[in-house]
Amino acid sequence: MPSSMMTVEQHILEEQRRHFPHSSGEFSWLLSGITYATKIIADKVRRAGLVDVLGSAGVENVQGETQQKLDVLANQALLTSLAGRGNVAIMASEEDAEPIVVSRDRQQGRYVVVFDPLDGSSNIDVNVSVGTIFSILRREPDPQQTRPPLDDVLQPGYRQLAAGYVVYGSSTMFVYTSGNGVAGFTLDPSVGAFVLSFERISMPEKGSLYSVNEANADSFPDEYRTYLARLRAGLDGRVYSSRYIGSLVADFHRTLLKGGIFLYPPTKANPKGKLRLMYEANPIAFLAEQAGGMATDGTQRILDITPTGLHQRTPFLVGGRAEMELLMGMLN
């Protein structure tokens, strides 16, 4: 645990000075837009039972899912905050059918931001942890504005400049990487700042927890059922316990800190997987690898997948090296 009271903004600037001493500061300004928006979302989540933000918004999003009122509020907070940064050319949200072009900054904007504004929002009515996931990509110059916005968004995960999430739980935590390890910050409501609480997060190589929706186990491919049975029987003297929340941010946050594995395998109903490559799998995979873990779709590294669609889905397996290597040995 760190001894100093360093805010996330100070940490971002320090990392920028250390690794990119000649940078302009635009990137840190962009990240501050995300932290600002997530503080607004955290406030709405914290007061959800006191103001009229619980329940359905009465419409479906592009995924065919019923939007919650907080989905709409979270999405708008991020869109508004990022559009005002001056360096974001394009945004893509899980809630919107197409990329959103920031007309004012389309020509000069250097960045693309992809996000799931409120992961796990169906759990909000029962006070279960939810979160925001984001990914930042570099946009190549396009002075004539001839390149379709979608082409700027559909980049493989290894090209991410930064990624992270905010988990709104018993405390609000901001976890991010810019390619130089993973750091975690806890929101101090007394000063309204995210303060460094985990200086360098390292995922344990071996854990004792697995996280999967076992209600779907009968429709998993045989190899996954065999793998889960192996974990339940014990591995290298470790007996595994099952923990599943149903909110990716919350399930991964536990896996990041405690080790083990999170699985969302293909099923008969969703043979190509259910989680979204751009909004969920890519940013979480980047964080996992930066913390020493692994992330695959069962056949290849998540970050090597070239996306073909904005809302493309994928099987998603992420966790510590011991659990992941055992699984990949059984799948391949």
So what's the pLDDT on residue 104? 66
The tens place of each residue's pLDDT in the chain, 332 residues long, gives 444 688 988 888 887 777 676 666 788 889 999 999 999 999 888 876 545 555 554 555 556 565 678 888 999 999 999 998 888 999 999 999 999 998 765 667 889 999 999 998 777 777 789 999 999 999 887 766 778 899 999 999 999 999 999 999 889 999 999 999 999 999 998 888 999 999 999 999 999 999 999 999 999 999 999 999 999 998 888 889 999 999 999 999 999 999 999 999 999 999 999 999 999 999 999 999 999 999 999 999 999 999 999 999 999 999 999 999 999 999 98
Chosen CATH of 8-198 out of 3.40.50.20, 3.30.540.10, 3.40.470.10, 3.90.1150.10: 3.30.540.10
Q: Are 272 and 299 in contact (CB under 8 A)?
A: no
Q: Which fold has domain 209-331?
A: D-Maltodextrin-Binding Protein; domain 2 (3.40.190)
The C-alpha angle 70, 75, 77, rounded to 5 degrees, equals 95
Structural domain spans, the chain: 8-198, 209-331
So what's the pLDDT on residue 3? 46
Cα(98)–Cα(299) distance, integer angstroms: 29
SS3 for 231? helix
Cα(327)–Cα(315) distance, integer angstroms: 14
Q: Are 95 and 61 in contact (CB under 8 A)?
A: yes
User: Look-up: residue for tokens 């009968």?
Assistant: 218
Neighbours of 103 (CB within 10 A): 9
Inter-CA distances, 13 with 10, 23, 40, 211, 305, Å: 5, 10, 22, 35, 31
